[in-house]
């Protein structure tokens, strides 16, 4: 087992709390027309996002999904600029043009969330080809949900990455539902990671994707393998979104009992218990982080609210390479 410093533990707890607070706050602000456009929350999936990226550098690249707030926060996106983008303001990371599904921070290796299901697979494969061609040792991660693995782009991208031994990790957060479709009714295999066998690459599975340390440990193994020039890998982690697919989804296809059972597996509570029981951190230290994050999110909302709207001219910027 990898030795993790106290500083690392607290940083992972901090990021998980940030993801939770941002999405819980946004869920309220949506009703006040604060958010521009469709919004998808990842409450309940914090461990999957943070565990996946705790071993990356800013030179490593990620491509996220429509449910990408957590990935952005895990890769250290500035909360003020992120919140401003969600509000469609000029100070946003995409100058107010992208909203929730088009958040990016190239300097930190975040090449963007994507509103098209399965839209990031080929982009990640292309970025991995660039890393191979230019001789870096950077890895690329293509995040997706379970439903996106039935898109043709997934299979085409995995096939190409496997054939050319590209440094890309296909990270599947299996939360069981593609909008309202239970993955068991759409895919004739109990585990999506086993599809790796068809392409001759390693497939990995984390049954408890709400255990941030389990995700982190497995990803450390995979990152080392891929960074070593051995080609791509697929990882599937099991988790669950507490809310509907989006702000427009009441989630009537799931029972209250099912949702409540998953809430008992709260990844933040699980990690907090681990940290205190193993005397890595005290309740007072963790409470201080919770308070810090609450203030950060409040400040970010105020920053967004006080920021100006973008000028219409920005719609024509950054379209072509000069």
Residue by residue, what is the 3-state secondary structure of 202-230? CEEEECCCCCHHHHHHHHHHHHHHHHCCC
Reported in sequence order, the residue ranges of 183-285 that DSSP labels E, i.e. its strands, are 203-206, 233-238
Residue that has been written with the tokens 């080929």 in this structure: 122
DSSP H helices, 114-211, are: 120-134, 152-164
Distances (CA, A) of 23 to 44, 264, 306, 321: 10, 19, 20, 34
Nearest residue to 74 via CA among 139, 142, 17 = 17
Q: pTM of the predicted model, to two decimals?
A: 0.96
Q: Backbone phi, then psi, for 170, in 5-degree steps?
A: -95, 105
Distances (CA, A) of 249 to 55, 137, 246: 34, 41, 5
Q: Backbone phi, then psi, for 320, in 5-degree steps?
A: -115, 155
pLDDT score of 250: 85
pLDDT score of 32: 87
- Residues 60 and 131 sit within 8 Å (Cβ to Cβ): no
Which residue positions in the chain have pLDDT lower than 50?
Answer: none
Q: Taking the CA atoms of the chain, what radius of gyration do you get in angstroms?
A: 19
DSSP, collapsed to helix, strand or coil, labels residue 237 as strand
In the chain, where are the structural domains located?
A: 6-306
| The CATH number fitting domain 6-306, selected from 3.40.50.300, 3.30.200.20, 3.40.50.970, 1.10.10.10 | 3.40.50.970
Neighbour count for residue 134 (Cβ, 10 Å): 8
pLDDT score of 306: 97
């Amino acid at each position: 087992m990898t030795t993790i410093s106290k500083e690392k533990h607290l940083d992972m707890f901090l990021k998980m709390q940030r993801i939770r607070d941002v999405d819980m706050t946004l869920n309220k602000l949506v009703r006040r027309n604060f958010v521009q456009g469709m919004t998808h929350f990842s409450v309940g999936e914090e461990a999957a996002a943070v565990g996946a990226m705790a071993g990356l550098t800013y030179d490593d690249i990620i491509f996220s999904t429509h449910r990408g707030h957590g990935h952005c926060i895990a890769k250290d996106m500035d909360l003020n600029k992120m919140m401003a983008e969600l509000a469609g303001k000029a100070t946003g990371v995409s100058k107010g043009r992208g909203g929730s599904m088009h958040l990016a921070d190239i300097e930190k290796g975040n090449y963007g969330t994507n509103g098209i299901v399965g839209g990031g697979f080929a982009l990640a494969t292309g970025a991995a080809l660039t890393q191979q061609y230019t001789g870096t040792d950077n890895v690329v991660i293509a995040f997706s949900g379970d439903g996106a693995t039935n898109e043709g782009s997934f299979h085409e991208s995995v096939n190409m990455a496997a054939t050319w031994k590209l440094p890309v990790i296909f990270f599947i957060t299996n939360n069981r539902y593609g909008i309202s479709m239970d993955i068991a009714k759409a895919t004739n295999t109990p585990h999506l990671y086993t599809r790796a066998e068809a392409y001759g690459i390693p497939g990995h599975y984390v049954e408890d994707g709400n255990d941030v340390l389990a995700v982190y440990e497995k990803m450390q193994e995979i990152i080392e393998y891929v960074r070593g020039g051995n080609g791509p890998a697929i990882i599937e982690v099991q988790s669950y979104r507490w809310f509907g697919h989006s702000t427009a989804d009441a989630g009537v296809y799931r029972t209250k009992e099912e949702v409540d059972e998953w809430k008992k597996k709260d990844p933040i509570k699980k990690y907090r218990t681990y940290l205190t029981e193993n005397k890595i951190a005290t309740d007072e230290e963790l409470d201080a982080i919770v308070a810090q994050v609450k203030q950060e999110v409040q400040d970010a909302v105020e920053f967004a609210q006080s920021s100006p709207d973008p000028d219409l001219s920005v719609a024509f910027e950054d379209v072509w390479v000069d």
